[in-house]
Amino acid sequence: MAAHETEVVIVGAGLAGLSAGLSFHRAGIPCVVLEAGDEVGGRVRTDVVDGFRLDRGFQILNPAYPAIRRLVDVDALRLGRFWRAVRVADGDRLSLLGNPLDAPKAVRDVAARRHLSAKDLAALGVLTARAAAGPAQAIVRGEDRATLDELRGAGLSERAIDSVFRPFLSGVFLEDGLSTSSRFFRLVWRTFLRSAPSLPALGMGELPRQLSRSLPSATVRTGTPVEEVRDGQVRTAGGDVWKARAVVVATDGSTAARLVPGAPEPSWNSVTTWYFTPPRSPLREPVLVIDGQSGPILNTAVLSEVCPTYAPEGACLVSASALTPLGERDVRRALSRMYRTDASLWPLAGRYEIPRALPAMPAPHDFRRPIRFGETTFVCGDHRDTSSLQGALASGARVARMVTAGFPPGVPPSPKGSRPS
């Protein structure tokens, strides 16, 4: 057991904790990040299995997120990009709907009006123009209601909602009732208009690894679970005590509620993701496939078409995600129908059941939830902002700004890192 001192102790090396740590580092304030796991990233992790890159649950990165542009060297991630389009599996057809700039073939299926009528297209155009126009803060300050009510209010038909928008947005929100905040929907729609969803060449786990490498060596200490948080200090499972001017709890919402009295625990949306390695690609397009028949699969994609580095050379990787932990046979049956091929013998590379995938955001949702819980204790994470990479990164930076503002101006930090006693 040892006692240490530093200016700021951050509990958790997920995106929020790393964002806070990087903000403190840029402000010249020493900090230490204590992480329970064996690697940084929290819920944003990637496993490499037999040369395949398996993200822990289906995740994508949108380069248009403001916090991504501010904190991340996007070029270094070597992104592979999805088309800003979806393939809608419906009966014996696999219609392509989306931005013709990304997928010119979409013009034919949009013109056929199989899923979107002329009235739907006009309503979608108005909705899109509203989301794209003006500053993002106008959306944040605007009226909030359930996304389903937003889509209906925009004039979209029930057929368009049920066959296109519900299956697509269920994969974004991880809930199929579309009760999620319409303000969040408009912000997400806005980012899709500005940039294509993407995957880093080395997997989503490369995002937190890059942030961690931007911090001084020994700032992040993995394998260090925290047992107790008090104003001005934390105690690790190994019995070490860290004292600091400020403690920032940057864990998931349930862990934060356990460590910090008064911090509310969020409700969670879950997801289960399967990874298969068929002998050949069932769809040679970098596109998300959704089920227009409201089947059990939220979405599926051939990830090796989006980012070839997700699979060994000449191999193929397919993801499939669902809200519930389905039986493998049901998943294979759904994939066979959606890709119009036999998926019954595809080798299974991995399965991830994630009960705490995203904090729920039913409307009305406050995008700036309280982050101070005591004189020197602060909480950040996507549960304090929005359930997204942007929300996690922005929340960490917001806490860092508040903490830094409380430090005496012009006074250099007192402790030079940690000091065992």
Q: Mean pLDDT by 10-residue block, N- to C-terminus, for the chain (421 residues)?
A: 92 98 95 97 97 96 94 97 94 85 80 85 93 87 95 96 95 97 96 94 98 96 96 94 97 98 96 98 97 91 98 98 93 96 97 97 94 96 97 97 80 40 27
Q: Which pTM does this prediction carry? A: 0.93
Compute the CA torsion angle 207, 72, 62, 49 (nearest 10 deg): -20
- Residue 181 has what DSSP assignment? B
pLDDT score, position 409: 58
- Give the residue from 232, 315, 236, 226 showing the smallest Cα distance to 275: 315
Catalogue the E-assigned strands of 218-305.
Answer: 220-221, 226-230, 233-236, 241-249, 268-276, 288-291, 299-302
Helix H or strand E encompassing 47 = strand 46-49
pLDDT score, position 408: 64
pLDDT score, position 414: 44
Angle at 145 between CA 140 and CA 149, to 5 degrees: 130
Distance CA 190, CA 133 (A): 9
Q: Which residues pair with 247 in a beta bridge?
A: 9, 377
Whether 260 contacts 246, CB under 8 Å: no
Those residues with Cβ within 8 angstroms of residue 65's Cβ, 6 or more apart along the chain or in another chain: 191, 388, 389, 390, 393
CATH of region 3-45+205-267+363-405? 3.50.50.60
Domain boundaries, the chain: 3-45+205-267+363-405, 48-200+269-359
Buried/exposed code over 347-369 (b: 16+ C-beta within 10 A; e: otherwise):
eebbebebebbbbbbebebebeb
pLDDT score, position 418: 38
Count of alpha carbons within 13 angstroms of residue 111, beta-carbon side? 6
Residue 283 CB coordination number (10 Å): 19
Whether 30 contacts 413, CB under 8 Å: yes
Six token digits for residue 187: 């912000």
Fold of 48-200+269-359: Polyamine Oxidase; Chain A, domain 2 (3.90.660)
- Helix, strand, or coil (residue 397): helix
| CA 276 to chain CA mean position, Å | 22
pLDDT score, position 420: 30
Whether 227 contacts 237, CB under 8 Å: yes
Distance CA 319, CA 325 (A): 14
- Give the residue from 305, 308, 348, 307 showing the smallest Cα distance to 328: 348
